Amino acid sequence: MAWQSGQSLYGDRYTIRKKLGQGGFGITYLAEDEQGQPVVIKTLTDEIMNSLDDTGDHDKFLRDFEKEALSLALCRHPHIVQIENFFTHQGLPCIVMEYVAGLDLGKRLRQQGALPEAEAVRYVQQVADGLRVIHQKGRLHRDIKPQNIMVRANTQEAVLIDFGIAREFLPDVTQTHTRAATDGFAPIEQYDNQARRGEFTDVYALAATLSTLITGANPPPSFIRVVKDRFKVPDNCSAAVRTAIEQGMALEPEARPGTVGAWLTLLPSLQVQPQPSPPEPKASPLQVPARYQRLAELLKAGDWRGADAETTQQMLAVANRTEEGWLDIKSIDNFPCEDLRAIDQLWVHYSQGRFGFSVQKRIYQALGGTKGSQQKVWDAFRDAVGWRKGRKFPDITFNIKAEEGHLPLGLSCRWVGEYSGITLLF
C-alpha cells in the first residue's frame, strides 16, 4: 500500500513528502526528518512482501535484511550514499538514506547523450573508490548502473546509491516475479543463484557502466553474450579505457580483475585521487590536562591496554566512583563534559581517528542508535566494533588494527540497564 504525502512513520520521526519511484523490488519516497531535513526512505513492494508471506520466509528475510542494512550503514565514504537508519513500519522494512540532490547518470544520458571520456572516467573512478569501502566490509553492491549513480547538484561529485540488498535474500519463488539482475550490467553469475559472486561481480557492472557512459548505449545482456557475443568494446576512447572495459566485462569471472583496486589500475590516472572518509576532529594544538598526562603517554607509546585501564581509572576518579568500580546513571548524567572531551580527544588523536568515544558514537548512531535504543541496536553496535563476535562477553584486541571504534572499552561494557560509556556522549 503506497504511503501518502503527510503520512508519519516511525513514531512521527519521518514525514512522507512524495513518491520518488518504484521498481520490481522497492518503492522510494522523499521524506523529512524531525529537523525538517530531506531524507530518502526505501521499502519493499506489496508484491514482494506477499511472496514472502506465501513461502513462509517473511521473518528470516526481515532479519537478514536488517542485518545487511546495519552493516552497510557503517560504509562511510564521500561517493557512496549514507544509510542513516533502519526501522519497520506496519510490517514493512524501511531504510533511511541521505537525500542526494542532483541528476542520475541515466537521466543525464537520455537528456544530453554520451559523456566525454574524461568525465565518464572521473565519475566511475569516484564510485569505484567508494565501492572499495563496501567490499572491505565484505559486502557487494550488486546493482551498479548509470541510474544508480547520482551527480550532486552544482558539483562534479558522483555518489553511488540504491544498494541491491533485497536481492541477496529473496527466495527463488520471489525471483520469478521480478528481475534479480539489470540486463546489460549484471554479469552472468548474477543470473545463477548458485554461482559464486565476489568483487569481480561489481567489476563487471563498473566496466559496463563506463562503456554506457562513453557510448550512450547499454551493452547486450551477459546471458545473450554467452550464446553469441556481439559486444564490441567502444572504439571512441583511449587504449587504456578500452582495455579496462574489455577486461572488466569478461564473461568468465576468472578472466576479470579480481578486485576493484586491480581494475582501477587499468584506467588512466587522471583527475581523481582516492578520497578517504572525513577524519575525526582533532584538537589543534592538542591540549593535555595534567590529570591525563599519563593517559597521553600510554597512548603515544601505543600501549592500548594500559591506556584503556588508565581511562577507566581516571573516569571512575572523576565521578568519585573508584570504590564501586562502575558508573551509575546519576554519575553518567553528571559526568563533566570537559573531562570526557579531553579523554576522547587523546584517543582520537593518537589512534589517528580510529578509536575514541566520538568514533563509537558515530558508529552507534549510524546503526540507528539513540539514548534509549532497543537491545538489538546495542548488540549490532558491539558486533560492529568487534566486542561480541557471536559471544556474550567482549573479545578485546588491544591493537591499532582492531575494528574502528573497538577502543576504549573501559566502562563501555560495564552495563547499567541500557546505559554504557557511549551514553555519556548524548
Whose cell is 543525464? That residue is 108
Helix axes 375-384, 58-72, angle to 10 degrees: 50
Query: Higher confidence at residue 225 or residue 24?
Result: 225
Residue spans per domain, the chain: 8-98, 102-264, 290-425
The percent of residues above 90 in pLDDT, for the chain, comes to 46
Measured CA to CA, the distance from residue 35 to residue 395 in angstroms comes to: 38
pLDDT of residue 353: 87
What cell does 288 get?
Answer: 593535555
Which CATH fold would you assign to the domain 102-264? Answer: Transferase(Phosphotransferase); domain 1 (1.10.510)
Q: How does pLDDT run across 396-409, given as a tens digit for each residue?
A: 788 888 888 889 98
> Is 12 tagged catalytic?
no
Is residue 297 within 8 Å of 381, Cβ to Cβ?
A: no
81-97 CB burial, b ≥16 within 10 A, e <16: bbbbbbbebeebbbbbb
* pLDDT tens profile 214-259: 999 999 999 999 999 999 998 889 999 999 999 999 999 999 999 9
**pLDDT score, position 226:** 95
pLDDT value for 171: 42
pTM of the model: 0.65
* pLDDT > 70 in the chain, percent: 83
What's the average model confidence in pLDDT over 67-84? 83
Q: What is the pLDDT of residues 147-163, one digit of tens each?
A: 999 999 999 999 998 77
User: What DSSP state is assigned to residue 419?
Assistant: B
Query: How far is it, in rounded angstroms, from Cα 121 to Cα 271?
Result: 9
Statement: residue 121 has pLDDT above 60:
yes
CB 413 within 8 A of CB 326: no
- pLDDT exceeds 60 at position 364: yes
Average pLDDT over residues 17-38: 88
pLDDT band at 418 (very low <50, low <70, confident <90, very high): very low
Q: List, as one string, the DSSP characters of 231-274.
A: ----SSS-HHHHHHHHHHT-SSGGGS-SSHHHHHTTS---S---
Contact 97, 20 (CB under 8 A): no
SS (H, E, C) 63-87: HHHHHHHHHHCCCCCCCECCEEEEE
Report the pLDDT averaged over residues 312-317.
Answer: 91
- Output the nine-digit C-alpha cell for 265: 589500475
The most confident of the ranges 16-25, 86-95, 303-312, 329-338 is: 303-312
* CATH class (in words) of the domain with range 8-98: alpha beta
Average pLDDT of the residues in 249-274: 85
Please list, residue by residue across 122-153, b when 16 or more beta carbons sit within 10 angstroms of its beta carbon and e when fewer do.
Answer: bbbbbbbbbbbbbbeeebbbbbbbbbbbbbee
C-alpha cell at 186: 549484471
Range ranked top by mean pLDDT from 44-48, 125-129, 270-274? 125-129
Which backbone phi and psi does 288 adopt, to 5 degrees? -115, 105
User: What pLDDT does residue 54 have?
Assistant: 67
pLDDT of residue 255: 97
From 104, 143, 202, 308, active-site residue: 143
φ, ψ at 314 (rounded to 5°): -70, -35
Query: How confident is the model over 163-172, as a mean pLDDT?
Result: 49
pLDDT of residue 148: 93
pLDDT at 381 over 70: yes
pLDDT value for 270: 54
Residue 423 pLDDT level (bands cut at 50, 70, 90)? low
- In contact, 49 and 177? CB cutoff 8 Å: no
pLDDT in the model for residue 388: 67
Strand partners, 259: none
**pLDDT higher than 80, residue 414:** no
DSSP for 342-406, written as a single string: HHHHHHHHHTTTSSSHHHHHHHHHHTT--TT--HHHHHHHHHHTTS-TTSSS-----STTSPTT-
Q: Report angle CA 404, 408, 410 to the nearest 5 degrees.
A: 145
pLDDT at 275: 46
Among the listed ranges 15-29, 201-215, 281-295, 302-316, which one has the minimum average pLDDT value? 281-295
196 φ/ψ angles, rounded to the nearest 5 degrees: -75, 140
What pLDDT, on the 0 to 100 scale, is given for residue 162? 78
